[in-house]
Structure formats: structure tokens, C-alpha cells
């Protein structure tokens, strides 16, 4: 019989305390369909980030992880990757004070050794500025690979006799520049119509509910987030067990 504490996760108030992750896909295609350069789609995607962060805070979501740039995305044309780095820097510099005022704590997960110096400085300023935020924990995954993170965590524990899940989760957090592990993901959304995880949060998302949306990221906003949350709350999460009704 599944434990009642697990069953309760399916009846929480909309958004309350949830960890929602979003693979933000489709910005380039959004621009191409309009005959615009892909960079215009990335700029529109940055505006969608601001909208969704506000909507998540209003909905009572506890942690929001946005998958912005994977380790594999360095394979894109150098000019496009460089433009994305500029957009990220503008976002962190432009939103730091707003995040502090909104109670949004910010941190970036992923590698930092390959990021441009100006972007890294903007990230560190934004993290310091909003460090006291308690309304929403916003995590931006930039130069992030779940496989690389897992391998780095294993390497950190290679000489340790403590190889349990708690120690591994802490090592994984440190590998992606977090002081403490974030809660496991409850809901993972991918926009843009593709139906794959693309090396995103494989450990933390092991039991996440998955929603694949045809909506391209720049068009994803408060109504789309609300619809995804409503779908999440219609599902019964059993974590490998069975419901009491079936068990009876």
C-alpha cells in the first residue's frame, strides 16, 4: 500500500510548494515562422521567462527550474551561442533588483568554466542581490548536462565510504554550484512540441510528471502554466506503488 504522505502530493493546492521545471524549447522556430532571425526568438523567449517567473511566484510554486542552455548547445553556430550569452547577461543584470523586491532567490546551475567573464560576473551579482528571497527559488540551467553532473558527483564521492542517496544528492548539488539540493521535481514541462528530455535533470526528475506542450516557448505564459498545473493536479502520483482503492 502506498504511504499516505505520497498520496497527499496529488492533492496539494495549485502550485503550493511544487518544484516545476521547464525545458524552454522553440524560440528559434518561433522567429523563423515569422521570417525573423533566430535572435529575435531568443529575445522574445527572455520576455517569456520574466512572465513565467512572475506567474510561478503568484501560483505559489516553491522552486522553478528553467533549462536555458545545455552543454550540447555549444554545437550551435558560434554567433548564436554568443548572442544567447548576451541575452542571459542582460536578463541577470536587468532583473536582479526586481527579483530581490519580488522575493525571488536566483541561482544558476551547470558548468561555469566555459561561460564568458561578463556573464559570469552578472550571474554572481544576481545571486548575491537576491540571496535572501524566500517566495520563489528560481534556478537557471546554463551550460548544464545531467550526465556530466552525475559523473562529477560520482567523482566527488569516489574516495568516500558514504555512497547513499543523501550524500550523492549533496555531491550533485555541489557539482552544479548549489549549496544545498533543491527538492525533487514534481512537474517537468517541455515546450515546442518535442518529446524528449535532452539530458535535463535526470536524477532530480526521476519521478516527475511530464507534460509536452506544442506551444513554442515565446508564446508560453500564465494561462499555459496554469493549464499545466491543472493537468498535474488531475494526475495520481503513486511513486511505484498502487492506490489504496486498487490495493483494497
What counts of helices (H) and strands (E) characterise the chain?
A: 9, 6
Q: How many residues does the chain have?
A: 248
Is 113 assigned a catalytic role?
no
Instruction: Say whether 143 is catalytic.
Output: no
Q: Collect contacts of 163-170 with beta carbons under 8 A, ≥24 apart.
A: 169/203
Residue tagged active-site, from 73, 93, 199, 219: 73
C-alpha cell at 204: 532530480
Residue 152, C-beta contacts closer than 8 angstroms, at least 6 positions apart: 172, 175
State which H helix or E strand residue 29 sits in. Answer: helix 27-32
Shortest CA distance to 144 belongs to which of 70, 199, 85? 70
- d(C-alpha 129, C-alpha 135), whole Å: 15
Q: Which residues have a catalytic role annotated?
A: 25, 73
Amino acid at each position: 500500500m502506498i504511504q499516505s504522505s505520497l498520496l497527499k502530493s496529488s492533492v496539494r493546492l495549485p502550485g503550493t510548494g511544487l518544484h516545476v521545471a521547464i525545458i524552454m524549447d522553440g524560440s528559434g522556430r518561433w522567429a523563423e515562422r515569422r521570417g525573423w532571425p533566430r535572435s529575435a526568438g531568443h529575445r522574445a523567449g527572455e520576455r517569456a521567462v520574466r512572465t513565467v517567473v512572475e506567474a510561478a511566484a503568484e501560483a505559489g510554486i516553491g522552486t522553478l527550474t528553467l533549462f536555458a542552455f545545455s552543454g550540447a548547445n555549444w554545437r550551435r553556430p558560434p554567433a548564436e551561442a554568443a548572442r544567447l550569452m548576451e541575452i542571459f547577461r542582460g536578463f541577470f543584470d536587468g532583473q536582479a533588483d526586481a527579483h530581490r523586491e519580488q522575493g525571488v532567490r536566483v541561482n544558476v546551475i551547470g558548468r561555469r568554466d566555459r561561460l564568458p567573464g561578463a556573464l559570469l560576473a552578472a550571474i554572481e551579482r544576481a545571486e548575491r542581490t537576491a540571496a535572501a528571497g524566500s517566495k520563489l527559488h528560481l534556478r537557471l540551467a546554463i551550460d548544464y548536462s545531467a550526465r556530466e553532473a552525475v559523473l562529477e558527483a560520482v567523482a566527488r564521492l569516489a574516495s568516500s565510504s558514504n555512497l547513499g542517496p543523501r550524500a550523492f544528492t549533496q555531491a550533485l548539488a555541489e557539482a552544479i554550484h548549489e549549496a544545498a539540493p533543491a527538492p525533487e521535481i514534481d512537474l517537468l514541462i517541455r515546450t515546442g512540441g518535442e518529446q524528449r528530455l535532452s539530458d535535463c535533470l535526470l536524477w532530480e526528475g526521476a519521478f516527475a510528471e511530464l507534460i509536452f506542450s506544442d506551444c513554442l516557448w515565446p508564446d508560453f505564459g500564465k494561462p499555459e502554466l496554469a493549464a499545466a498545473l491543472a493537468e498535474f493536479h488531475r494526475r495520481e502520483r503513486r511513486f511505484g506503488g498502487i492506490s489504496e482503492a486498487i490495493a483494497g
